[in-house]
Structures are given as structure tokens and as C-alpha cells.
Amino acid sequence: MTSKKHKIPWPTKAVMEQIYEKHFWGGNDSDFYSGKGSHDPKIIQPYIDTVIRFLKSHNGQLTVCDLGCGDFNVGRAFVPFTKTYVAIDIVEGLIERNQRLFKANHLTFKCLDIAKDDLPKADCVIIRQVFQHLSNLEIQQILDKLSAYKYLILTEHIPVGEFTPNIDIIANSQNRLRHNSGVDVLAEPFNFKVKRCDVLSEVILDNESRITTTLFIL
């Protein structure tokens, strides 16, 4: 009798590289495409507007670290309202492409594994629809580093109504919605400690799921 083999997950870097190479998030005519959640105006415009308001409320003097910047269709809107902006992604080709396309004196791109590597110093960290694709272990590894920041702007795609938070997955192109789950960093097993949190924006997509952006004061 043979024992059932456990599926060994790919390294997250390889997963994300394949997502872009195979266009799992769409954009077959693009070199790199971070999906509808980074391009649909109904999704991104309320988010962009609220984050810009937050950055303006600090007179454009915040240093910002964007973890999982993707194709930078969204992040580019924030650069003019910051003192410095560091945009990070795990896919090297994507970072090289962003460096060619987006330029500002106070903008830099870095290729890092945000779960494993040291993160740049900043006042505010932005994490938009990244955790939902990662394992709980990777999420915890990232959360452990965030006490170094003053502010966290976190966006997650979660179910409408009651759901079971933080069902574990292996890193992949999908999120936890098919498990009626979503990431809630304040719930078990993370129990992330914050001083305060406020919902900045929320977009209901199909009466079953929503994209919620929360500002955490750390």
C-alpha cells in the first residue's frame, strides 16, 4: 500500500512568473498584466481617489513602500503625492519593465520576495490584493515586518456577508473566495495588533464579493 503524496507547492516566485507568462489574469495583448482588479475603473478609481486623499492629508510628505506593485497601473497614480515611493514585486522581468516605463526622481523599483527579504524603510506600506494569493505562513512572515511602519493600507477581495477568515492555501493565481474565505489580518491565526483601523473604500462586485481597503494605524 503506497502512502498518498503531499503536493509540494512551487516557490512563490515561480508561481507569479508563470501567472504573468501564461496570462492567467488576462491581458493576452500585454507583456505584463495584473488583472481586472488593477485595470477596471469601477474597481480601481474609488481606491485611487481615497488613497490620494490620504496621501494629500499628509501634504505629500509620506515615504511609501508598495509591496506587490504588479504592472503599476494603479501605483503610478500615487507617486506625485509622496516624498519617496518604492515599488516592489517578486517578478524580475516585471520590475525591469516597470523601470523602463515609469520614471520619477523619487520613484524606485526593487525585485524582492516580501515574505523572505528585508523591506525598505518608509512611513506607509501599501499592500493591494496580494495577501489573498499567498499562504498563511507567507502572510505571517510579512505581517511580522510591518511594525516598522506607521501606516498600512491593505486591500483584500473577500466575500459579502459572513465567511470563514484565513483558510490556508498555497500561493497561486486564485484567492480564497471559492472556499467562502478571505484574508482578515485581525482574526486567527494572525491576530495582527493595530492601534486603529478605518475602511477607506469598498466596492461590491457581484453581491457575493467585495474589495475592501482598510487603513491601519500601527
Q: Considering the entire predicted model, what is its pTM?
A: 0.93
Over residues 83-113, the pLDDT tens digits come to 999 999 999 999 999 999 999 999 999 999 9
So what's the pLDDT on residue 4?
A: 45
Give the per-residue SS3 of the chain: CCCCCCCCCCCHHHHHHHHHHCCCCCCCCCCCCCCHHHCCHHHHHHHHHHHHHHHHHCCCCCEEEEECCCCCCCHHHCHHHCCEEEEEECCHHHHHHHHHHCCCCCEEEEECCCCCCCCCCCCEEEEECCHHHCCHHHHHHHHCCHHHCCEEEEEEEEECCCCEECCCCCCCCCCCHHHCEECCCCCCCCCCCCCEEEEEEEEECCCCEEEEEEEEEC
Q: Please give the CATH topology (third level) of the domain spanning 12-217.
A: Rossmann fold (3.40.50)
Summarize the confidence of residues 111-118 as an average pLDDT: 97
**Contact criterion met (CB below 8 Å) for 194 and 216:** yes
217: its cell numbers:
494605524
Over residues 127-186, the pLDDT tens digits come to 999 999 999 999 999 999 999 999 999 999 999 999 999 999 999 989 999 999 999 999
Residue 2 has pLDDT above 70, yes or no: no
So what's the pLDDT on residue 1?
A: 43
Per the listing, cell 520576495 goes with 113
Residue 14 has pLDDT above 90, yes or no: no
So what's the pLDDT on residue 7?
A: 58
Compute φ and ψ for 184, nearest 5 degrees: -130, 105
- What is the arrangement of strands in the sheet containing 107-111, beginning at the earlier edge strand? 107-111, 84-89, 63-67, 124-128, 151-159, 209-217, 196-204
So what's the pLDDT on residue 213?
A: 98
